[in-house]
Amino acid sequence: MKKAVFIDKDGTLITNVPYNADPDKIVLEYGAVEALRLLQEEGYSLIVVSNQAGIAHGYFKEDEMEPVSARVRELLHEADISLDGFYYCPHHPAGKIVQYAVSCGCRKPLPGMILQAAAELNVYLPGSWMIGDILNDVEAGNRAGCKSILLNNGNETVWEMNTLNKPVYIAENLPEAARHILNHSTENLKHGAYISNVD
């Protein structure tokens, strides 16, 4: 099984532009290349998990997500970083596009995207991490059984912490989050149950 780092997209991996689906407006966040390279070199699969309620709200169409993911992959590829997965939730219970206006299990803070990715990509969740810029990301990671890091970059505005959404670490930026993961990478190696870097 693999170990993975699940990464929120908007405000974490790329600069947050609310409800953006224009590939030309995608810019990697500060330190993204440095952080993801460190994690990739350490053997972590890199998997984006993103709420895209703009689809349910009718701000853009689901088929516009493919150029978005392609652009993110392209920007990372220029730095020799490859994503192992790109998952998004198109739903929102109050959406106006009927087919997406559902209470799903994939919208963070629920862990559905992470669980699906783990099943499809053979990820060992207790050896894996979630990084996000709001506590709903943290909660999704925790619910999936990962350890979760909050980026304290000003995007969380509510700060209602509880037992479900408590991060194990709060980082100021992505490289700091990556270094924390590398420094705590072996904590889940128990009883030989987990072999890293084996596909």
Binding mask 34-73 for Zn ion (x = CB under 5 A): ----------------------------------------
Nearest to 194 by CA among 39, 55, 43: 43
Nearest to 186 by CA among 8, 43, 36, 46: 43
CA distances (Å), 54 to each of 64, 74, 110, in order?
11, 23, 18
User: Considering beta carbons, is residue 89 or 171 the nearer one to Zn ion?
Assistant: 89
| From Mg ion, Zn ion, none, interface partner of 133 (C-beta below 5 to 8 A by class) | Mg ion
11 binds Mg ion (CB under 5 A): yes
8 binds Mg ion (CB under 5 A): yes
Residues 95-134 that bind Mg ion (CB under 5 A): 133
Q: Clarify whether 137 is annotated catalytic.
A: no
> Would you tell me which residues interact with Zn ion (CB under 5 A)?
89, 91, 104, 106-107
